[in-house]
Structure 1
Amino acid sequence: MSNGPWQPRGQGPRNPNPWGGGPAGGGHGGREPPDLEEILRRSQDRLRRVIPGGGGEGGGIGRLGAIGIAFLGLLAIAGWLLTGFYTVRPNEIGIERVFGRFAALTAPGLNWNWPYPVGRIDKPTIAVQTIEVGLRSDARGRGGVRDVREESLMLTGDENIVDVDFAVLWLVDARRPQDFVFNLREPAGTVKAVAESAMREVIGRREIQPILTGARLEIEREVQELMQKTLNGYGAGIIIQQVQMQKVDPPNEVINAFRDVQAARADQERMQNEAQTYANRMIPEARGEASRIIQRAEAERERMIADARGEAARFNSVLDEYSKAPDVTRQRLYLETIERIYGGMDKVIIDQGRQNGAQGVVPFLPLNEMIRPRAGTTEPGRR
């Protein structure tokens, strides 16, 4: 009877088939299982040949084998640790992970982190990138541009349709690159979706006329601010550097009608400018004429007030004299009035006291023209 597979050497014959059965036939279809003792022995022989000055059999071989295995393990660990060195380029930022969690940010240069699978390195590029919305440039650099109308057609606030092509310049935020790595799965697709949504919102709040003419800079600024606010809410770690509107036109189907409308509006503005110029010329003239009329009226008013005050003063002075000598004053007023009435006309005096057909007409007055003064004589009425 055999002593089994673990029988020491030199203590009887050893069964070449430790699992039972003869070398041919048996319960395993003629296949012998591996001899573990033989495998160990051959391994020790190889190790003895590799290590110079190896000892004899038994415990010496086992100790040497353990030392060799430990040495190989240390070499493997050292090689594994050496794979943890990595280089960060000047336009990159290193993001170290340990067991999948964010550990630290590293500057450009040579750095070290735990190798895979314990650690991992992400190196996002800090460079300006461009996202096009509404158009696609030729990737081969031939200068061709393909219009993507499902992205560029937008509805304005006055229910018109406008074709807007624009580009967005963005880059990774160097202060929070870990947000860019951990919070975004498809950065370019996210930026494009946010850009299209922001532009549609801004265009939807405006009428088409300012969009086609002079509101481009303001629209670009509003879209940039809205995109940055949205991405900050996502924690995307992205900076929107600029929004550039490249083409803003009506749809091709109605562009001719829009051009006619634009021409009519240009004529309207021209006529309004001409009317405003005429008004600017006529209004100051009218205001000047009105001012002159007002000044003349005020001067006439002052003159009439002054005359009235003079007449009142003269009347008061006459009244004072009249109160002192009523008869004399009354006679004087009568004579002055007669003089003022008859002073500038021809006069005929009829003497009603004559009788018997005598002529009672004094044909000519005033007497100062009928009686001319002689030299050396005194004029009538003067003494």
Structure 2
Amino acid sequence: MAWNEPGGNNNDPWKNKGGKDQGPPDLDEVFKNIMAKFGKFGGGKGGSAPSGKSFGGIGLSVILGIIVAVWVLSGFYTIREAERGVVLRFGEFSHFVEPGLRWKPTFIDSIVPVDVQTVRSMASSGSMLTEDENVVRVEMEVQYRILEPYKYSFAVTVPEESLSQAFDSAIRYVVGHSKMDAVLTSGREVARQNVRDELQTIIESYDMGLAIVDMNFKDARPPEEVKASFDDAIAAQEDEQRFINEADAYAREIEPRARGQVNRMAQEAQAYKERVTLEAQGEIARFEELLPQYKAAPEVTRSRIYIETLEEVYSNTSKILVDTKGTGNMMYLPLDKILERQSGSNVPANIRSTLEGLRNQDSDGVNDNSTVTSRSNSRTGRN
């Protein structure tokens, strides 16, 4: 049977708990009892009201102290060496902070750390139309660094996206004003520099606080359908440039050698000129010395000149002894060959002395006239 069923039964658990007729607990009394118990720990007596008020003041102070401590501790932060901190006070820019351990009032200041030393990179690629209406695929990469942290953070909504769009626009502008052959071959450096200048102009107008460090032209290639033909054309241009470089190297090698030969020939010609001039002057001086002697004794001077001339001529020829007597058989002895061989052969002393005497007589010109006469007589007899 239920405890609240009509019939006079009163089984209410709240009123009959412990055998006493009680109602539901009073919340005010519960809180009073709790505060009284805590008041004992705070120095109060019993459960009186003053003790509760004392505990409430101390608890509030403790809570406020904890809140202040948490607020102070939460304000410490660290800025790394490569970063600069942008301080916003109630959402408005206040100042910059340098690297190190810093403190800020929480809920008043907010910090935006920005890396200003790292060099970042961004790539861009795509198919583009050139000035001569050809399609080319270009890949480039830009390297940049942040100069002004506040402008980089708040000048534009998303700085990376703005830079990417500006980069794409600069590439398409430069490629659209260039020939396809220039972009694929020799004009890459010019295109790279033009893209850098155009991108620098765009980001300066945005005032993004960025600086372009470098620009890399990674690749440029034609569409796949005509890639083989363009590869052949590029290879031909490379061969042409290689041949030009080889010709320049050959010219640089030959030119100094030719100049050296020219200088050597000029010096030899000058030496020959001086030698001939000096020889002519010597001949003139010699004839001038002979002229007085010739005037004094013409026959003697003529004969002496004749003999000296024959001596000079025969000194460079072979000496031959011809026997013009006998039965008509011509016998000749090569005197120079015999003298060359006598050192290695057993020639008797008397024969050797005779050969030496003949050689000395012939070299001194003592018997030059007789020798010439005998030779002329022998030739006449043979004839």
TM-score w.r.t. the length of structure 2 is 0.51
Relative to 1, partners in 2 of residues 1:268 and 1:75: Cα closer, same or farther, differing over 3 Å?
closer
Q: Map 1:121-200; keep pairs closer than 5 Å.
A: 121-126=111-116, 127-134=118-125, 151=126, 153-173=127-147, 176-200=148-172
Aligned pair partner of 1:219 in 191, 194, 198? 191
Q: SS of the residue aligned with 1:67? A: helix
In the alignment, does 2:47 pair up with 1:41?
no
Amino acid at match of 1:112: W
Relative to 1, partners in 2 of residues 1:50 and 1:244: Cα closer, same or farther, differing over 3 Å?
farther
User: In the TM superposition, what is the alpha-carbon distance from 1:198 to its structure 2 partner?
Assistant: 0.7
Q: Distance in 2 between matches of 1:122 and 1:189?
A: 19
Preserved contact between residue 98 and residue 114 of structure 1 (Cα < 8 Å) = no
Aligned pair partner of 1:254 in 193, 215, 226? 226
Aligned pair partner of 2:98 in 103, 107, 110? 107
Relative to 1, partners in 2 of residues 1:238 and 1:34: Cα closer, same or farther, differing over 3 Å?
farther
Structure 1 partner of 2:213: 241
Amino acid at match of 1:212: L
- The structure with more helix, counted as a fraction of residues: 2
What's the % identity of the aligned pairs?
29
User: In the TM superposition, what is the alpha-carbon distance from 1:95 to its structure 2 partner?
Assistant: 1.6
Q: Distance in 1 between matches of 2:167 and 2:150?
A: 22
Q: Distance in 2 between matches of 1:42 and 1:228?
A: 77
Q: Distance in 2 between matches of 1:226 and 1:123?
A: 30
Structure 2 partner of 1:64: 55
TM-score w.r.t. the length of structure 1 is 0.51
Amino acid at match of 2:87: E
Structure 1 partner of 2:323: none
Structure 1 partner of 2:109: 119
User: In the TM superposition, what is the alpha-carbon distance from 1:90 to its structure 2 partner?
Assistant: 0.5
Structure 2 partner of 1:375: none
Q: Map 1:48-87; keep pairs closer than 5 Å.
A: 48-51=39-42, 53-55=43-45, 57-87=48-78
User: In the TM superposition, what is the alpha-carbon distance from 1:239 to its structure 2 partner?
Assistant: 2.0
User: In the TM superposition, what is the alpha-carbon distance from 1:44 to its structure 2 partner?
Assistant: 1.5
Amino acid at match of 1:94: G
Q: SS of the residue aligned with 1:240? A: strand
User: In the TM superposition, what is the alpha-carbon distance from 1:222 to its structure 2 partner?
Assistant: 2.2
Q: SS of the residue aligned with 1:123? A: strand
Q: Distance in 2 between matches of 1:267 and 1:220?
A: 24
Amino acid at match of 1:246: K
Relative to 1, partners in 2 of residues 1:183 and 1:35: Cα closer, same or farther, differing over 3 Å?
farther
Q: Map 1:289-368; keep pairs closer than 5 Å.
A: none
User: In the TM superposition, what is the alpha-carbon distance from 1:158 to its structure 2 partner?
Assistant: 1.4
Q: Distance in 1 between matches of 2:237 and 2:178?
A: 18
Preserved contact between residue 47 and residue 65 of structure 1 (Cα < 8 Å) = no
Amino acid at match of 1:123: P
Amino acid at match of 1:124: V
Preserved contact between residue 153 and residue 159 of structure 2 (Cα < 8 Å) = no
Preserved contact between residue 89 and residue 109 of structure 2 (Cα < 8 Å) = yes
Relative to 1, partners in 2 of residues 1:130 and 1:67: Cα closer, same or farther, differing over 3 Å?
same
Q: Distance in 1 between matches of 2:172 and 2:52?
A: 80
Q: SS of the residue aligned with 2:83? A: coil
In the alignment, does 2:83 pair up with 1:92?
yes
Q: Distance in 2 between matches of 1:231 and 1:108?
A: 27
Relative to 1, partners in 2 of residues 1:165 and 1:47: Cα closer, same or farther, differing over 3 Å?
same
Q: Distance in 2 between matches of 1:35 and 1:239?
A: 74
User: In the TM superposition, what is the alpha-carbon distance from 1:128 to its structure 2 partner?
Assistant: 1.2
Q: Deviations over 1:124-160 (max 9, x none)?
A: 22211111222xxxxxxxxxxxxxxxx2x11111111
Which ranges in structure 2 are unaligned for 5 or more consecutive residues? 1-12, 16-22, 248-383
Relative to 1, partners in 2 of residues 1:155 and 1:44: Cα closer, same or farther, differing over 3 Å?
same
Amino acid at match of 1:121: I
Q: Map 1:372-383; keep pairs closer than 5 Å.
A: none
Q: Distance in 1 between matches of 2:44 and 2:154?
A: 55
Q: SS of the residue aligned with 2:95? A: strand
Structure 2 partner of 1:320: none
Preserved contact between residue 131 and residue 178 of structure 2 (Cα < 8 Å) = yes
Q: Deviations over 1:186-224 (max 9, x none)?
A: 433332222111111111111122222233233222222
Q: Distance in 2 between matches of 1:239 and 1:50?
A: 67
Amino acid at match of 1:66: G
Q: Distance in 1 between matches of 2:24 and 2:202?
A: 69
Relative to 1, partners in 2 of residues 1:45 and 1:177: Cα closer, same or farther, differing over 3 Å?
same
Preserved contact between residue 93 and residue 124 of structure 1 (Cα < 8 Å) = yes
Aligned pair partner of 1:231 in 203, 213, 230? 203
Amino acid at match of 1:171: R
Preserved contact between residue 142 and residue 216 of structure 2 (Cα < 8 Å) = yes
Preserved contact between residue 40 and residue 51 of structure 2 (Cα < 8 Å) = no
Which ranges in structure 1 are unaligned for 5 or more consecutive residues? 1-21, 25-31, 135-150, 275-383
